[in-house]
């Protein structure tokens, strides 16, 4: 939220709408910071975590298996990851934290070229040579060589698409369509030509405007890093504020941040669901937090209410009874398209602004084969993404090799030389022996028509498409694919469409909320966080909890 949020009055009542990561972590931080504030967390599902869903079932061989029906890892270099993992360790879940090292096979990433061949994203001289020999490198070297000399836009230039910025800086559309489009499909499930440059490649936008070119910015960073001889880098302002507010030792946090920077990704044995489960179990023990498995149907009130408890939430409880609760402050921690119906009829201008934000739908297809590894040795890695330059009849966004990631997990230690974490329990560990587990991501913007409305294929058709793609890309046999265990999940409206101008659109919504509800309402979640990842949402939740505490 914008900086106008200020401290809550003593003994305030706060309602939090949404039991996903955004609502759950906001409740945790505010509940810790302000024991006098009474918080009600509304989640229509008994399971916390929103799109995080580690599904435990039985495999074809009758043995337990866990399939991730949503996110599965954290990135290491992130303020939000420091907050998440430090809290998990304080809650007694440190033993289940696992890391993937930079030299692990799971850190190898691949892109599908226009010929349907997997090409590794370079991480060595050999892989660089192979990448440069592939069609994916078209326009890249020439674009990099002349990037420094290309004229920048002015400091006050309007937002543009990520593709437009990349095409300007590299001098041709090929790098955007061949390489960058794959990356952004994997993150946003959207086309590089429809993504806001300020949202998707914000650092490039800032670099161009501050230094004139991306090359000059990279050179300035290199010189600055070379000149910095400090042995112990300072904590970021956000992590330092977290440490002060929650009484955490600065040296411990510094050690944790330093350790995390060594790993490209982190995970949890038994599934990422342990993260929201741990936070929900913690807030359930807070004397100032109440959990309500109710569905919020309306938000009423505003600046003219003349009442300390100025905002009312209308909700239906688990038994179907209707209620109304009054609050000093309401945190909306759901997607923009789910916020809009809450103000319909009561605030038509805000409803119109929220309703204008569309979202993409992604189909997730999990596959599990016990006793056999069908991922070719030369392609063992995190997985692969599909760029716009590939014909892609299956509308595939990418494939994650879960079994490679799980088999690359190592115990995580807070500091170098510290004793390794205890191994996870057998029930929570990955399947023993050889197996294949992967997740295919399908659809996103590729499902949408010209107006942005999705057409979602049936479960049978989606799985059939994934089988065809795996057969063509990995050489998987029909016998293996037909004998595998399959799980289909439709993540409907899971990712906002961050179109050019989205930042201004979101800021306008926040200004309207602050004006209409006199600080009685704040907005959280992916639609209003600084970035699209789980750590970004957590950082945003802590920042706003600090403003209100």
SS (HEC) of 46-70: CCCECCCCEEEEECCCCCEEEEECC
Please name which of 260, 263, 235 lies closest in space to residue 249, comparing C-alpha atoms. Answer: 235
Where in the chain is CATH 3.50.50.60?
A: 13-50+274-357+498-548, 53-149+161-272+359-496
Out of 3.40.50.300, 3.90.1170.30, 1.10.10.10, 3.50.50.60, the CATH code matching 53-149+161-272+359-496 is 3.50.50.60
13-50+274-357+498-548 maps to CATH 3.50.50.60: yes
pLDDT value at residue 515: 87
pLDDT value at residue 230: 59
Cα distance between residue 431 and residue 433, in whole Å: 7
DSSP 81-141: HHHHHHHHHHTT-GGGEEEE-TTSGGG-EEEE-TTS-EEEPPSSHHHHHHHHTSGGGTTHH
pLDDT value at residue 228: 66
Q: pLDDT tens digits, residue range 64-83?
A: 999 999 999 988 789 999 99
Which residues of the chain fall below pLDDT 70? 1-3, 228-233, 302-309, 413-430
Sort strands 54-58 and 64-68 into parallel, antiparallel or unpaired: antiparallel
Task: Give residues with Cβ within 8 angstroms of 521, minimum separation 6.
Answer: 299, 311, 329, 330, 331, 332, 513
Cα distance between residue 311 and residue 358, in whole Å: 26
């Amino acid at each position: 939220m914008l900086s106008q949020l200020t401290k809550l009055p003593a003994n305030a009542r706060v309602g939090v709408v949404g039991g996903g990561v955004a609502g759950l972590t906001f409740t945790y931080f505010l509940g810790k910071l302000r024991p006098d504030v009474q918080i009600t967390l509304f989640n229509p599902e008994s399971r916390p975590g929103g799109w995080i869903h580690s599904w435990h079932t039985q495999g074809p061989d009758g043995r337990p298996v866990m399939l991730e029906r949503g996110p599965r890892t954290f990135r290491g270099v992130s303020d939000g990851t420091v907050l998440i993992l430090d809290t998990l360790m304080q809650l007694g879940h440190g033993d289940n934290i696992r890391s993937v090292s930079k030299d692990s096979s799971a850190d190898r990433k691949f892109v599908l070229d226009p010929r349907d061949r997997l090409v590794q994203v370079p991480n060595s001289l050999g892989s660089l040579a192979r990448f440069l020999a592939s069609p994916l490198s078209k326009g890249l070297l020439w674009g990099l060589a002349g990037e420094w000399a290309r004229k920048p836009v002015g400091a006050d230039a309007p937002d543009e698409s990520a593709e437009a910025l990349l095409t300007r800086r590299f001098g041709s559309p090929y790098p955007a369509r061949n390489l960058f489009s794959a990356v952004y499909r994997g993150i946003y499930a959207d086309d590089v030509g429809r993504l806001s440059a300020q949202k998707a490649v914000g650092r490039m936008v800032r670099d161009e405007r501050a230094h004139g070119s991306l090359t000059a910015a990279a050179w300035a960073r290199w010189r600055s890093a070379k000149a910095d001889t400090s042995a112990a880098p300072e904590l970021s302002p956000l992590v330092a504020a977290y440490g002060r507010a929650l009484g955490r030792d600065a040296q411990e946090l510094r050690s944790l941040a330093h350790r995390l920077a060594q790993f490209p990704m982190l995970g949890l044995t038994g599934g990422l669901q342990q993260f929201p489960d741990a936070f929900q179990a913690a807030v359930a023990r807070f004397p100032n937090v109440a959990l309500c498995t109710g569905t919020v149907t309306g938000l009423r009130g505003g600046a003219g209410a003349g009442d300390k408890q100025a905002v009312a939430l209308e909700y239906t409880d688990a038994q179907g009874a209707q209620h109304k609760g009054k609050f000093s402050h309401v945190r909306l921690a759901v997607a923009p398209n789910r916020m809009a119906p809450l103000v319909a009829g009561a605030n038509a201008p805000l409803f119109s602004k929220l309703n204008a934000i569309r979202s993409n739908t992604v189909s997730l297809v999990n596959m599990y084969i016990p006793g056999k590894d069908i991922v070719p040795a030369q392609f063992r890695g995190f997985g692969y993404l599909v760029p716009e330059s590939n014909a892609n009849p299956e509308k595939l966004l990418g494939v994650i090799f879960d079994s490679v990631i799980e088999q690359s997990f190592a115990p995580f230690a807070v500091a170098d030389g510290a004793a390794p974490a205890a191994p996870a329990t057998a029930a929570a560990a990955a399947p023993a022996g050889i197996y294949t587990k992967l997740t295919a991501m399908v659809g996103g913007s590729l499902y949408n028509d010209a107006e942005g409305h999705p057409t979602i294929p049936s479960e049978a058709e989606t799985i059939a498409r994934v089988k065809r793609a795996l057969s063509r890309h990995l050489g998987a046999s029909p016998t293996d694919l037909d004998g595998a265990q399959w799980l289909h999940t439709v993540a409907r409206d899971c990712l906002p469409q961050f179109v050019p101008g989205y930042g201004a659109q979101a800021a306008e919504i926040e200004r309207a909320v602050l004006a209409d509800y006199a600080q009685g309402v704040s907005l959280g979640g992916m639609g209003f966080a600084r970035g699209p990842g789980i750590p970004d949402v957590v950082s945003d939740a802590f920042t706003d909890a600090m403003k209100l505490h």
